[in-house]
Structure 1
Amino acid sequence: MIIFDFDQTLVDTSYVESLRAVRDWKGVMRKAAELPVYQGVGELLSALHQNGHRLAIVTKSPDMVPRWFIKQYGWPVDIVVGYHDVRNRKPHPEGLLLAMTKGGAVASDTFHVGDQVQDTEAARAAGVVAIGVTWGLGDDGELRASAPDEIFNTVGELKTYFGS
């Protein structure tokens, strides 16, 4: 299973960060169509799915945000765990563990892809491979310092890593 973070990993949500900070989710949804998907993300998700990987998104946003993108772009994502699905948010591993349970996955065969220190910490706590991605970051120093198992600067590099 491959579990993705959503914000700044699949979609550039920096434009609505002020709305996210005050939990104005209706405002975020009004702007959803304006938020750019990172180049190559759709192709990556399709290739991973075609190669037999089960895909999930675990996000600190409500699940309606990534579900809109899944529907809009036809992403083959099976499982979404959002803000309201867990009591403990990243860096706690609860969201990752819930996604793995829903997907019938085991930690030894699971990867988590994210852009923040909290993603690395959640992956470590869940016992899964921590993959850091920098394409949504201005400064990747903190992410690099968190020492994910792998780190990639482009969607293409991540795609190559998974052999897709």
Structure 2
Amino acid sequence: MSELKLVVFDVDGTLVDSQGDIVAAMGAAFASVGAPAPTRADVLSIVGLSLEIAIPRLAPQCSAAEHTHMVATYRDSYASLRAKSVISETSPLYPGARSAIEALHARPHTLLGVATGKSRRGLDVLMEGHDLGHFFVTRQVCDFHPSKPHPAMLQAALAEAGVGPEQAIMIGDTSFDMEMARSAGVAAIGVSWGYHAVESLALADRVIHDFAELLPAIDQIWNVAYE
């Protein structure tokens, strides 16, 4: 049996707080078709879903053609906001995120990955801005998979890393992350600082409230000890 283990992170609401740009880009998308902007709470409730699923859920009154236009406007607006800003200011890492990533990366036989509702373009810009790319051996994005909570992203990450589901853990802040992990047969750790209420993380094996709790939670799930 392979000794390799895989820890897969969600991005928005888990590693970075990007809600400002997400809400602004969604506002631009709605304005492009003359629809009233959704509330911040409503926008954050769909973070993690692909835009093709999220926007119709937020704007059921709009037509399919309008949804398509809104998706394109959101992507362009989000990219424009990114180009005009400093990522460390508009999408800062949550406290302790980098230290946790570095500590996991330093562990023998432990691989790191990402499974996110972001596009490849959005994820690449974020990774470059925070100098995180070299930590992750697999990066799964919405461009090539069904939206969460479908397990396709996690299944692809497992295959790419050469790790079985029993040797993997998903870290995320939404019910979509927890449902995706369960569907893929992967353990799940929910984080309380993200965009979904803690009550929605009922499928998690553990819920943590600070990145300092992450490594101990992982070790408890895998029942391993590190010096």
Q: TM-score, normalised by structure 2?
A: 0.65
Q: 2 CA distance for matches of 1:82 and 1:160? A: 28
Per-residue Cα deviation, 1:6-62 (whole angstroms, up to 9, x for no partner): 110011121122325544223223334221111111111111111132111111110
**Residue in 2 that maps onto 1:100:** 158
- Do the aligned partners of residues 133 and 104 (structure 1) sit closer, same or farther apart at CA in structure 2, a change above 3 Å counting? same
Which runs of no fewer than 5 residues in structure 2 stay unpaired? Answer: 1-5, 27-54, 56-69, 220-225
The 3-state SS of whatever aligns with 1:54 is strand
Match 2:113 to one of 56, 60, 66: 56
Please identify which structure carries the higher helix content: 2
**Residue in 1 that maps onto 2:64:** none
Match 1:35 to one of 74, 81, 91: 91
Q: Give the 4+ runs in structure 1 shifted more than 4 A.
A: none
Superposed displacement of residue 142, structure 1: 1.7
Match 1:10 to one of 9, 15, 20: 15
**Residue in 2 that maps onto 1:85:** 144
The 3-state SS of whatever aligns with 1:61 is coil
Q: 2 CA distance for matches of 1:159 and 1:121? A: 22
- Do the aligned partners of residues 138 and 148 (structure 1) sit closer, same or farther apart at CA in structure 2, a change above 3 Å counting? closer
Contact preservation (8 Å) 1:48, 1:162 = no
Q: 2 CA distance for matches of 1:138 and 1:127? A: 22
RMSD of aligned residue pairs (Cα, Å): 1.9
Write the letter of the residue equivalent to 2:210: T
Corresponding residue pairs, total: 161
Which runs of no fewer than 5 residues in structure 1 stay unpaired? Answer: none
Superposed displacement of residue 138, structure 1: 6.8
The 3-state SS of whatever aligns with 2:114 is strand
The 3-state SS of whatever aligns with 2:99 is helix
Q: TM-score, normalised by structure 1?
A: 0.88
Write the letter of the residue equivalent to 2:97: V
The 3-state SS of whatever aligns with 1:68 is helix
Task: Answer with 1 or 2: which has the greater Rg.
Answer: 2
